[in-house]
Amino acid sequence: MTPSLERLAELVRQAEAKTRAKKLGTETQQAAAQFRAAEQRARVAAQRQREVRPARLRELEQADTDEQYLKDLVRKLAQFKSSLESDSDAEALVATAQAEIERTRREAKAELEAVNQETEEARRVLRSAMDHYLQLRREIDRLQPQLGETFAAEDRLIWDAEMHFPGGQFQALAREVEASVNYFGVLGKLEQYAQLKIWIGRFRMYQAANDGELTEENQALVQRIFHQLKTLSKQYEPGYIEAFRHDFHTDWPAYIAEAQEQLLQATDAARRNKDWEQQRLEQQARGQERQQQARESGQAALAELKALMARCNLPDEGVDEFLAQLKVVVNGLGASDPQLLELVMPYRELVQGGNGLRALRRNLDRIRQEEAKDDETLQVQYEDLLSATHGRRALMIGGSVREDARRTLQRLFEFDRLEWEPYEDAKPAMLDSLEQRIRNRGVDLVLILKSFIGHHVPERLRPLCEQHDIPCLMVERGYGPAQVGEALRRGLLKSA
């Protein structure tokens, strides 16, 4: 289309819109009112049909049953006619019963025809009103799109109005089921069970109400809906639902109402569980936050305790201050913190339950008992060394100090004391300090952890130790009791 033709078409559209603007809004409002009234009439007719049809169908079935029973009685009367006291009474009763049956059948059929006729007429009027309204709405969208929001409620009502027609009911159900695919798996089992009962109940109710009135296209839609519902049931397995059986029949409105009540109860229960879980998570988060704050406070208190122990000469001085600070650490870290237990173990006897440290003392005693049991097992292996190690002041050099390992070695070999000094090549003054301690004869035995120290250390310390007649032994491959015991046997027992 050329630019001039496009401008000309726009001018024509504007002129047409101005001409129709005065009438279109009013006409659409009138059509919307007619459509709402027609939809309300169709809704009332459908409700009446749902109420009347089942009862009247039962009456017709009962009339057929009564008629068959009456025929059986008439045959029996013919057989036993000679035994009757009065033929006229029996004939009168037969005639009366036949009339009552016919009257019941006639009234039921008449009311069924009336409600069906009203439903069909209401649907016809509704379809006409819908078509007229939709025609005007399309014209508004073309000429005056700004007026579209005015009819938003009627546009939404169009979807509900389709429910009054055989195909529309299944189309609405299909849209609802398809829209649920993304959230159905999130529901709880009870919610899934109730929701599936509602859907299959509505499906079977629509099927019974529109039997024989569906087009081929709608029949294909019906098959697709049933397949979708069955797939959801097999995929999530919420429970057995008898309505999926084709031979199952019931009062479908009552069945749906019961399922809706089940869904409401399941949703309320799920909401309560969700609220409870949310409260639990919030309480857990607050508890973790309090624990984290207490731990940070405890770590700071532990650093202060270490500084205090370095300043004080325990157990000769500073015991009260030590216990007070220890209680602060326990309040923050608890009585089972590994760092705290390792730090305090050498001063276990100072920790008394009367100071609010009962749990800490129990843990220290338990660890000491376990260590004693281990010592009893290990000491058998090192009994031959005790005569050479008992009462000695030992110095172990190298690696990173582990207090639990140091205590174990001191107990097993019955050293008077065992000092463990880490060594770093970056601090030459440390080596000078170690040499001075040897010259001052502050130690009786030197153990060098060969795997954790440079060659220059034994080269400087071993001659000095020989000069002062102090054993200087190299410990191979670690610092466990086996490695230390091997070094002691090699250095002490063989030399002896």
> Tens of pLDDT along the chain (496 residues)?
688 888 888 788 777 766 666 677 778 788 888 888 888 888 888 788 878 888 888 889 999 999 998 888 888 887 777 676 666 777 888 889 899 999 999 998 998 888 888 888 887 888 888 788 778 877 777 766 776 677 777 767 766 676 666 667 787 788 888 888 778 888 889 999 999 999 999 898 888 877 666 677 778 888 899 999 999 999 999 999 999 998 898 888 889 999 999 999 998 988 898 889 888 888 888 888 888 888 888 888 888 888 888 888 877 888 888 888 888 888 888 888 888 887 887 788 888 766 668 888 888 888 777 766 666 666 678 888 888 899 999 999 988 888 778 888 888 888 999 999 887 654 678 888 888 989 988 899 999 998 878 788 888 899 999 999 999 999 988 888 888 999 999 888 865 5
Strand order of the β-sheet with 417-421 is 417-421, 393-397, 445-449, 472-475
Say whether both 149 and 20 belong to one domain. Answer: yes
Tokens 């009138």 belong to 30
Which CATH number covers residue 431?
A: 3.40.50.2300
Helices of type H across 1-86 = 3-79
Residue 338 domain boundaries: 294-372
Residue 143 forms part of a structural domain: yes
234 neighbors 288 (Cβ within 8 angstroms): no
Same domain, 20 and 138: yes
What's the confidence (pLDDT) of residue 373? 67
Predicted local confidence at residue 391, as pLDDT: 92
- Final residue of a structural domain among 245, 278, 311: 278
Whole-prediction pTM: 0.43
**Residue 241: predicted pLDDT:** 93
In a domain, residue 6? The reply is no
Are 26 and 152 contained in the same domain?
yes
Shared-domain flag, residues 21 and 150: yes
Alpha carbon distance 325, 350 (integer Å): 13
Q: Are 237 and 269 contained in the same domain?
A: yes
Are residues 259 and 364 both part of a single domain?
no
User: In the chain, how many domains are there?
Assistant: 4
Non-local (6+) Cβ contacts of 440 within 8 A are none
| Helix, strand, coil % over all residues of the chain, rounded to 5 | 80, 5, 15
Q: What is the pLDDT of residue 75?
A: 87
Alpha carbon distance 280, 21 (integer Å): 61
Question: Which of 156, 189, 218 is the last residue before a domain boundary?
Answer: 156
Q: What are phi and psi of 184, to 5 degrees?
A: -60, -40
- In-domain check, residue 172: yes
Residue where a domain terminates, one of 222, 243, 278: 278
Instruction: Say how far apart CA 188 and CA 480 lie, in whole Å.
Output: 57
Residue 9 located in a structural domain:
no
Give the CATH number, domain containing residue 55.
Answer: 1.10.287
- Residue 273 sits in the same domain as residue 335: no
Count of CA atoms in the C-beta half-sphere (13 A) of 304:
17
Q: How far is CA 253 from CA 47, 111, 119, in A?
A: 11, 20, 18
Same domain (yes/no): 88, 45: yes
